[in-house]
Structure 1
Amino acid sequence: MKRLVRYICACFLTLAALAVSAPGKAQDDASIRIDAPAPDFRLPTLAGEGKSLAQYRGKIVLVNFWASWCPYCREEMPSMDRLVKSFPKGNLVVVAVNVEKRVPERFRKLPFTFVFLSDANGLVQQTYGANRLPDTFIVDRKGVLRQRVTGGIAWDSPQVVAYLKSL
């Protein structure tokens, strides 16, 4: 019974998080709008290779702003990894944008299927208005920003998977 109650609560919280990010103006920044093109950016991977949002056109992209000191960020990462693995290879990408000046060494070799990027100067974080972590932006296959989810959620929940597959 406890499992059922926890599952129902998790489903409710997931839907509530998606509902808060309903179409219209994003919460923090007037330059970021739901149903408008997501601002492109180019950031280095943790190994120094440059990656841009535009290079993932044709795929669903979760742009996830996180920091190693954020417990909610760390808690949601395994569910994001399971989410990526539940989609056909290459159809969904998680771009994990770290907002710290320097990523701690233990986070440089995480076993997740993410693209880890570093936004050490905070310019992309500022562009997106991602001031509360974790803050995730869902970008569709055409590069249009579809949702914003502030706070950690179970990304592999059936409701989230169904929503993402509908994009």
Structure 2
Amino acid sequence: MKFNYLIPIVLGIFFSFFMTEQLLAEENKEGIEVGNKAPDFEIETLNGEKVSLSDYKGKPVMLNFWATWCPPCQVEMPDMQKFHEKHEVVVLAVNLLDTEMKRDHVQKFVDEFGMTFTIGLDGDGAVSSKYRINPIPTTYMIDSKGIIRHKSLGAMPYETMVEHLNKMD
């Protein structure tokens, strides 16, 4: 009888520990939804280099999927460039190259919009398939630990980019 008061305390500690472990397990689960660990991939850049999403671990990343023929992508690009210039964030813009008429269109678009962030080329659609991209643009805000903190379907204005960056880490 003397220790009956300990039972609720011990159970409370046990359930608190269990719930914390469950939350940590969810964050470490790879997937494409908010709270999941972003799936890693390797992609060739417009400059011919290979980059992986995991190369940017330790830094916040804005992962954007786009195409030159996409009107909302065209609207979004100046805001993405401004965001890249004004904030400590990696911008990785993955072009859906398999939907383009010509590869040259990508370079022309990049030059026209003055894009200075990393442009990945998803030549066979493997990365966009992994992330189940539809519609474009689709943007993921990924924190420095590789966890997706925001997912946006459609063009994202500069103010929204900043807002979601400020919510990370």
Q: Deviations over 1:138-165 (max 9, x none)?
A: 11010001111000121x21x5413312
User: Are 1:33 and 2:41 an aligned pair?
Assistant: no
> What is the root-mean-square deviation in Å for CA atoms of aligned residues?
1.7
Paired residues for 1:1-167 under 5 Å: 31-87=31-87, 91-101=88-98, 102-103=102-103, 104=105, 105-109=107-111, 110-154=113-157, 156-157=158-159, 159-167=160-168
TM-score of the superposed pair, with normalisation by structure 2: 0.73
Structure 2 gaps of 5+ residues are 1-29
Structure 1 gaps of 5+ residues are 1-29
- CA displacement at 1:108 relative to structure 2: 4.7
Larger radius of gyration: 2
The one-letter amino acid paired with 1:124 is V
Q: Deviations over 1:89-123 (max 9, x none)?
A: xx201101000234314125352231000001001
Equivalenced residues, count: 133
Alpha-carbon contact 1:35-1:146 (below 8 Å) kept: yes
TM-score of the superposed pair, with normalisation by structure 1: 0.74
The one-letter amino acid paired with 2:94 is V
Aligned-residue identity in percent: 37
Q: Which has the higher contact order (CA 8 A, sep 6+)?
A: 1
